[in-house]
Every structure is written in structure tokens, then in C-alpha cells.
Amino acid sequence: MERLQKVLAQAGVASRRSSEELIKQGRVKVNGAIVTELGTKVDPASDIILVDNKSIAQEKHVYLLVNKPTGVITSMHDPQGRKTVRDLVKSINERVYPVGRLDYDTSGLLLMTNDGDLANRLAHPSYEIDKVYRAWVKGIPSKASVNLLATGIELEDGMTSPGEAEILFIDKAHNRAQIQLTIHEGRNRQVRRMCEAIGHPVVTLERIRVGFLTLDEVRSGGFRHLKPQEVKHLKKVLK
């Protein structure tokens, strides 16, 4: 027997926390009865579990590479009515959800899937998956500051772990620079806070790569399915 929220997360319905919300909202039925108590034990092999009256067992795994524009929230629902990443993948029937998050003001590569297991591993810093960002920042950072971004910088939630950082363009006329940053963690607003910490706040931020996956031809606001060999490769990397 397993806890209901764990079974939902493992089936790729939603993250563990979002699964708890689904239960509390009365959207989950076990053998025909609505269950709102967190921690209810179920047998995934024999109990019939429905979310919004749809069986959790039926979904095949779907892996999407989305090019999120700015002005879209990385959430499946926004009480304030802003556009969400769910709106970007409306044509997909499966309940995919985002792997990690990009800020409202950040654009770029976001993976979405209903494979909870792979999503958890992708988001976990211990796998050291590269996340590569391009940022235009205010002012022209010194080499020493850029080195700090790479080696580690003290933020309010601790030191950042080592990554890579380089200046791509210096635009003296507009007093700004473009930097590329590779990190392996996914703390809240991490890149923005790192750039702020060296005194060069981010003006625009885009994620251009996650692991071996790049945005290639995917237009802003569009998405594509991962190819079977890409999924296979991801699973191998995340073993």
C-alpha cells in the first residue's frame, strides 16, 4: 500500500505537492469515492484511481520541449488569470506539467512531461544537468565579477555551486553586456539574484539549453515532442 499523493505523482499526474492539492480539492476518487484525506493508503495495482474522473493509469508518457515566452507563468493555473504554460500546450490531451520553473519574465526552454519520475530527477541538482542561460545585464561586469558567478557566490540561501560564466557581448553604447551562465541548481530566481549580487541586474533572461536539449527551431510560444532517442538518452543520463 502506498500514500495516495505518492501514487499520483509517480503516475505523472502532478508533482507531489500539486497532487496533494488535487486531493484536498476533492478531485480524486478511489474506487468510486472522493478522497480528501492526505496520506490515504491505496494499492496502485488494484484500486481504481480517478482524477477529474479520468483514470490515472491510462496515460502514456509525453515529453515536450516548450519555448516559453515572457509574460507566461510556469504554473498550470493562475488565480490572477495570467497566461500559463498550460495554455501553450492546449492541444496535448495528457496532463503534462512543467519540470522546474522559469520566471514570468524569463523566456526559453522549459520541459513539460507527465513522467513524474523523470521530472523529479531532471530537477534534482545531484544529476548536475546543465542549465544554460543568456542574460543581458545592466553595466559591464569585470572579469573578476564574472569569475565569481562561475566559482560560487553567496546568496541569502547559501553559496551557489560552481558553474560556468562568460561575457558574450559588450554594448558600451547602451552600457550593458550579454553574459552566458551555466548552472546546475534551480533555486528561485537564481540567475537574477546572482547577477544582482555582482551589481549587474538582469534586463532580459533566456534559457537556451537544458542538458543536451536546445531550443533549435522551436519558435517562441511553440513546442515540440522529444524524439524517442532523446527520451532514451535523457533516461540514460539520469540513471
Binding site for ligand URA (CB under 6 A): 102-103, 106, 189-192, 205
Residue 130: active-site member? no
CB of 106 to ligand URA, least distance (A): 3
Task: Identify the helix (H) or strand (E) that includes residue 234.
Answer: helix 228-237
Extract the C-alpha cell encoding 120: 523529479
CB of 103 to ligand URA, least distance (A): 4
Q: Residue 20 or 133: which CB sits closer to ligand URA?
A: 133
Q: Residue 20 or 206: which CB sits closer to ligand URA?
A: 206
Residue for grid cell 558553474: 163
Q: Residue 201 or 222: which CB sits closer to ligand URA?
A: 201
How far out from the chain centre does Cα 44 lie? 27
- What three-state secondary structure class fits 215? coil
In b/e form, how buried is each residue of 160-191, taking b as 16+ CB within 10 angstroms? Answer: beebebebeeeeeeeebbbbbbbbbebeeebb
CB of 52 to ligand URA, least distance (A): 29
Q: Residue 68 or 95: which CB sits closer to ligand URA?
A: 68
Catalytic residue among 47, 78, 103, 117: 103
Q: Supply the residues annotated as catalytic.
A: 103
